[in-house]
Every structure is written in structure tokens, then in C-alpha cells.
Amino acid sequence: MSMQHFTEVFKLHIPLTHINVPIYNSIIYMWIIMLVLIIFAICVQVYMRTVGFKMVPESKFQNFLEAIVKWLYDLVENIMGKKYSEYAPLVGTIGVCLLFSNLFSFTGLPQPTADPSIPIGFGLVTFFNIHYQSIKKNGFKSWIGEFASPFVFMFPINLVVELSVPVSLSMRLFGNMIAGLTIIELVYNGLSGVAFGIFRFIIPIPLHAFFDLFDGVVQTYVFMMLTMVFIKNSVDHGPEH
């Protein structure tokens, strides 16, 4: 059985150019997740505009949404501080997308985060935000000055430290996901030679619970936490702090 999970499905031709973008199945899985989330978001909007949220929440749907949004804002305010609640949508988006991606393996298809390009994309989003928010809050001079602190000759070291952030974020996520995927696949392959067919169904269950469910949720949480901490650190280093 091949270990190649992600292959090119088709080439997307960008109109008016000669560029053909290769579309891998991991991207198609992401699009499926996005479609589900966008449909859910539209349902939320339709619900809010037709039924409307009640001051005294009675519907389970409203309670569910309020609980999630409240949990997200509380998390961001606890980790980053009350004045940084503006970053909750960003952290929430990364969290929701990662959670659905990591748990995608329950469909029987490999989770898209096991394709190294996708965790790198997530890591770069956090990386860009760390520096974009720092420049936006404290200005370019303060941001560039951070690299030269405490001494100017620390610049290359600080640069490596900053560049290691997205690498560590994406490689941690990718490593966990590919490890779970590989181990479960190895177990399935090994069990295919076992005489008693029932073992092929029972033995992988705890492995799915650990590598797919537990590790998927934990990695999502870790990614959110690190995103919050890194953004807070970079924004906090401004002149007023």
C-alpha cells in the first residue's frame, strides 16, 4: 500500500495567464471543510436575521453559538488580556479550521494537515500576523528595533528566532498528524494479515481515539495558544510597554 496520501488531482488554469496551479487532494479536502463551515455560517446569519437572537436565550442553537463565541473570547482575554479581545476572530478562525482539518480523518480520508504544505500555510498565517500586528500597533521602527535588542549584533540571532516560529508551529502540527496517520495505516496494514477479521476493527479504535481525536484536538489547542502568546509578545514589546 502506498504511503503517498496526497496527489495532484488536476491543474487549475488561472485565466488571462499561463499559470497552471496544481490542485492536490488535500486542498480539495480543505475546500470541503470550508464549504461545510460557510454553509454553517450562512445558516447562522439566516437564523439571526429570521428567528433572531433572544435576550433570554431559549433555543439550543443560540445557546450553542453563544457558548462557543463566549468560550473563544474568554480564552483570548485570559491568555492575551482584555485589551486584545480584537484578536479573538483570528484565533477562532485558525482554531475552527484546524480542528475540522485535524478531525477530517474520521471521514476515512487522510486529514489535510498531514500534507506538509497546509501546516506551513497555517504557520505562515500566524507568522504574518505576529509581525503585521506588531507593525500596526507599534510602528515599523519599533518592530525593526526589536530585532536589534538588547544589542545590535543580536540581529541575526533574533532573525533566526523569529523565523523559527512558523517552522516550529507547522512542523509540530505536521509531525503529529503524519505520525498518527502513518501509525494507524501501519496497524491497518499489519492487521490485514491477521486471521480473525474482528481484530481489524477493534484494535484500531483506541488508536483512532488517541491519534485522531485526542491529538487532533490537542494540536489545535496548542496552535491557538502559541498563536495568542506570540502575537501578544510581539504587540506588547511596543514603546508604551
Partner 1 sequence: MSVESSTIIITIINIAIMFWVLTKFIFEPVKKFMDSRVISIQNDIQDANNLKLNAEELKSQYENKLKDVHDERDQILLDSKRKGEKLYAEKVSEADRDVEVIKERAKREIEQERSQMQNELRNNTVSIAIEAASKVLNQEINQDKHKELVADFIDNLK
Name the site residues for partner 1 (rule: CB under 8 A): 3-4, 6, 21-24, 26-27, 30-31, 34, 37-38, 41-42, 44-45, 48, 53, 55, 65-66, 69-70, 72-73, 88-90, 92-94, 96-97, 115-118, 120-122, 124-125
Buried b (16+ CB within 10 A) or exposed e, 213-223: eebbeebbeeb
Q: Which residues pair with 21 in a beta bridge?
A: 12
Q: Which is nearer to partner 1, 113 or 234 (CB)?
A: 113
In angstroms, what is the minimal distance from the CB of 69 to partner 1?
Answer: 4
Cα 187 to Cα 75, 178, 181, 183, 202: the distances in Å are 37, 14, 10, 6, 11
In angstroms, what is the minimal distance from the CB of 82 to partner 1?
Answer: 13
In angstroms, what is the minimal distance from the CB of 231 to partner 1?
Answer: 14
Contacts of 5 (CB under 8 A, 6+ apart): 25, 110, 114, 115, 181
Q: Which is nearer to partner 1, 124 or 202 (CB)?
A: 124
| Alpha-carbon span 193 to 200, nearest angstrom | 9
CB neighbour class for 182 (10 Å; exposed up to 12, middle 13-18, buried from 19): middle
Q: Which residues pair with 8 in a beta bridge?
A: 24
Strands 8-13 vs 20-24: parallel, antiparallel or unpaired: antiparallel
In angstroms, what is the minimal distance from the CB of 22 to partner 1?
Answer: 6
Q: Which is nearer to partner 1, 31 or 140 (CB)?
A: 31
| Alpha-carbon span 232 to 82, nearest angstrom | 11
Q: Which is nearer to partner 1, 49 or 241 (CB)?
A: 49
In angstroms, what is the minimal distance from the CB of 138 to partner 1?
Answer: 22
Q: Which is nearer to partner 1, 117 or 149 (CB)?
A: 117
Q: Which is nearer to partner 1, 4 or 206 (CB)?
A: 4
Which of 234, 232, 233, 239 is closest to 85 using CA atoms? 232
Q: Which is nearer to partner 1, 38 or 144 (CB)?
A: 38
The three-point CA angle 135-226-136 to 5° equals: 10
Of the CA atoms within 13 Å of residue 79, those in its CB half-sphere come to 21
In angstroms, what is the minimal distance from the CB of 163 to partner 1?
Answer: 15
